Amino acid sequence: MGNTFGHVFRITTWGESHGGGVGVVVDGCPPGLELSEADLQPDLDRRRPGQSSITTPRKESDTVQILSGVFEGRTLGTPISMMVRNEDFRSEAYNEMSVKFRPSHADYTYHAKYGHRAWPGGGRTSARETIGRVAAGAIAKKLLRQRWGVEVLACVTQVKHLSVTVDPETVSSEAIESNIVRCPDAVAAAKMVELIEEHRSAGDSVGGIVMGVLRGVPVGWGEPVFDRLEADLGKAMMSLPASKGFDIGSGFAGVTLTGREHNDAFRAEAGKVRTVTNRSGGVQGGISNGETIYFRVAFKPVATVMHEQDTVDVQYANTTLKGRGRHDPCVLPRAVPMVEAMSALVLLDHAMRHEAQCGHR
């Protein structure tokens, strides 16, 4: 259960790390949208392992195929099924995984919950599962841009203790994509790359923070009381592998301010209502207020390290396990397109729900 996301624009992902492949079915996509694999592949390439010296060297082309829902280059309004075949074969390096639980991975919890586990490559818990999200998110991003002029961005703002301040109003896709760590500050980016490479050499890994930025979102998206925009964004981000935290606007830092300091004064500007500051992060009472939405997502360091660690085997006996073979020292650059994809899925679903209830006003 739990493999479906969204109410009106709704995706269902499937697939394990090894086996036939991974994919997604998108239901509820508006008809008439121009769509081909060329719209999806760029984001999949940004998500792909092996794309740079600071990610896992696992090599898969992740070539997506659209199997349904598109006819003569435009969407039909019927389900869009997309698939990426698995190419990577089952490595010898994995064999120990069949009998030992990797620390801080999901091996043990899957074993305990289901009693039967696809251990090669982590099975369903592999980051390959996010391929379907990113493919579906690319469709959502295109619709948001075409219909509402909404821009969806994400970038790395912290790697371990190296942190930069990024202005959500001005950060650009060009600056973000100008380096392999996807941090828009070039000077900081260079230091981050260096830091990641150091830890890779040491067989260790690092975590950090990704910021999401949603610009041009109209006033009025978001459903009180449970499906607040920030609640659905929070869920979307916390559903990403390795994420441990989410905050929006002033977030955790805002708790040290008083109400007088924290409040965003309203100002009328050219017949529009704006806020002078944006500690709300573009959402008030669960509904977008027309300001830029920005939030942070904390990612823990990758759990696989090239060192002997204490663990337990499937007989529940104590043992040790050492990561072998390919090593991903930092998930952050690849998490950027994931954060964008999940943001777009949340926004588009809310846009369509808003149209359904309030579109006739």
Residues 231-260 that bind a copy of itself (CB under 8 A): 231-239, 241, 243-252, 254-260
Provide the minimum distance between the beta carbon of 227 and a copy of itself in the complex, in angstroms, as a whole number: 3
Question: DSSP labels for 95-159?
Answer: GGGGTBPPTTSSHHHHHHHHS----GGGGGGSGGGHHHHHHHHHHHHHHHHHHH--EEEEEEEEE
Does 165 interact with a copy of itself (rule: CB under 8 A)? no
SS3 211: strand
Q: Which of 55, 56, 179, 288 binds a copy of itself (CB under 8 A)?
A: 288
Does 180 interact with a copy of itself (rule: CB under 8 A)? no
Does 38 interact with a copy of itself (rule: CB under 8 A)? no
Provide the minimum distance between the beta carbon of 337 and a copy of itself in the complex, in angstroms, as a whole number: 17
Q: Which of 179, 284, 292, 343 binds a copy of itself (CB under 8 A)?
A: 284
Token pair 């070539």 is found at 63
- Cα–Cα dist 188/178, whole Å: 12
Does 355 interact with a copy of itself (rule: CB under 8 A)? yes
Please measure the distance between the N-terminal and C-terminal CA atoms of the chain and give it in whole angstroms.
37
Provide the minimum distance between the beta carbon of 87 and a copy of itself in the complex, in angstroms, as a whole number: 14
Number of residues that bind a copy of itself (CB under 8 A): 158
Residue closer to a copy of itself (CB basis): 118 or 173: 118
Show the tokens assigned to 304: 């696989």
Provide the minimum distance between the beta carbon of 172 and a copy of itself in the complex, in angstroms, as a whole number: 24
Q: Which of 280, 294, 340, 343 binds a copy of itself (CB under 8 A)?
A: 280
Contact positions with a copy of itself (CB under 8 A) in 190-219: 199, 204-209, 219
Residue closer to a copy of itself (CB basis): 174 or 315: 315
Token pair 């090894």 is found at 18
Residue closer to a copy of itself (CB basis): 169 or 198: 198
Judge if the upstream peptide bond of residue 336 is cis by omega within 30 degrees of 0: no
Which range in 165-173, 184-192, 307-315, 333-341 contacts a copy of itself by CB under 8 A? 307-315
Name the burial class of residue 197, with classes exposed (0-12), middle (13-18) and buried (19+) by CB atoms within 10 angstroms of its CB: middle
Show the tokens assigned to 325: 């073979």
Torsion-angle region of 72 (φ positive above 0: left; ψ -120 to 50: alpha; else: beta): left
Phi and psi (nearest 5°) for 209?
-130, 135
Provide the minimum distance between the beta carbon of 169 and a copy of itself in the complex, in angstroms, as a whole number: 19
Q: Which of 95, 276, 322, 325 binds a copy of itself (CB under 8 A)?
A: 276
Contact positions with a copy of itself (CB under 8 A) in 85-104: 101, 103-104
Does 134 interact with a copy of itself (rule: CB under 8 A)? no
- Cα–Cα dist 26/77, whole Å: 10
Residue closer to a copy of itself (CB basis): 59 or 244: 244
SS3 65: strand
